[in-house]
Amino acid sequence: MRNPKTFNRIKNTKLYNLVKKFSVYQYIRKIFKKTPMYAYLTFGCNLDCDYCTTKHNPPENKSKSYPIEKGEKWIEAINRIGKDVIFTGGEPTLHPDFIKIIKNINEKILISVYTNFCWSDEFTQRYINEITRPVRFYGSYHYSSGKPEKVIKVINKLREKNLMEGVIHMVDPHDDDFFKKVKEKFNQNGWYFFKTQRVLNSYERCSMSFRKTVECSGKIIIIAPTGDRYQCVSKLFRMKDPLENIFHENLKGNKISCICHDYGFCSPCDECYKINKTRN
């Protein structure tokens, strides 16, 4: 049996992450990987980042008016559908039933979580006490996260209990000196730390200055806090054209396509969509 301690140490090395990024590993993984579901548990967050995509869909952004649905609904739907799930938001750990949801999802389903790791001591302790199954984290550090030591304390605690598998990175570090200082702190604690850039509204499709009709398709499953599926993140934010609701019915396939009249109002998260034909 693999030793999780050794495996986690390897997974947090620069070499491992570089190999993953550039090798055929990603290509092969894409072929065999089941399409996961992106479950937006809540759009609430304990941080307030300027570049947050939840702020970049004016004037029709309705993400803050989504209600919080009970954990039981999520558990039943995710177990029935059986797809791997990626919890996102907002900050998904703020859903009041977050730990209950993780605990009750079938062990065969892979769980990933996007989180800023700005967890309270109490929440971290509860997580450690109650969760035994593996969860993959896509951790992000932000300017508004406060001192890096706060985040490092949380991920070190998880690592001590073999509960930390995943990556930690900084979003949009326009201040290179600041990024280097933060990186050093994470590295000193044995964490591989890298940066990612958000490019907001710089693409034609996200300019929000015109609307065009196009054929748009993608193989991505996006579920709103209400259980409604949407074609893309932009439509999810705008509550536009909801599709099937996973709390009441099964998914109707992975790939979806539509004639969309809102090209120009895409979200920066919708880059992967294929625009097939411009209609006007």
- Of the pair 3, 280, the CB lying nearest ligand SF4 is at 280
User: What is the closest distance, in whole angstroms, from the C-beta atom of residue 273 to ligand SF4 in the complex?
Assistant: 4
Shortest CB 64 distance to ligand SF4, Å: 12
**In whole angstroms, how close is the CB of 79 to ligand SF4 at the nearest point?**
26
Q: How far is residue 7's CA from residue 13's CA, in Å, rounded to a whole number?
A: 10
CB nearer to ligand SF4: give 90 or 166: 90
Q: 3-state class of 117 per DSSP?
A: coil
Least CB distance to ligand SF4 at residue 117 (A): 10
Residue number, 49 or 85, with CB nearest to ligand SF4: 49
Q: CA end-to-end span of the chain, whole Å?
A: 58
Q: Which among 103, 110, 109, 102 has a CA at the least distance from the CA of 80?
A: 109
CB of 146 vs ligand SF4, minimal distance in Å? 12
CA torsion 256-258-263-265 (nearest 10°) is -60
What residues contact residue 277 under an 8 Å CB cut-off, 6+ apart?
214, 215
Look up residue 37 and give its two tokens: 């579901």
Q: Which is nearer to ligand SF4, 75 or 263 (CB)?
A: 263
- Minimum CB separation from ligand SF4 for residue 53, in Å? 7
Q: Tell me the two tokens of residue 266.
A: 């895409």
Q: Closest CB to ligand SF4 among 158 and 206? A: 206
The strand ranges marked E within 105-187 are 111-115, 136-141, 165-171
Distance CA 54, CA 274 (A): 22
**Closest Cα to residue 151, out of 194, 189, 111, 113?**
189
User: What is the contact surface with ligand SF4 in residues (CB under 6 A)?
Assistant: 45, 47-49, 52, 54, 89-91, 116, 142, 205, 214, 216, 231-232, 234-235, 258, 260, 262-263, 265-266, 270, 273
DSSP class of residue 41 equals E
Could you tell me the two tokens for 198? 């958000």
The tokens of 108 are what?
A: 């065969």
Nearer residue to ligand SF4 within complex by CB, 135 or 214: 214
Residue with smaller CB distance to ligand SF4, 2 or 252: 252
Q: How far is the CB of 244 from ligand SF4 (least distance, A)?
A: 16
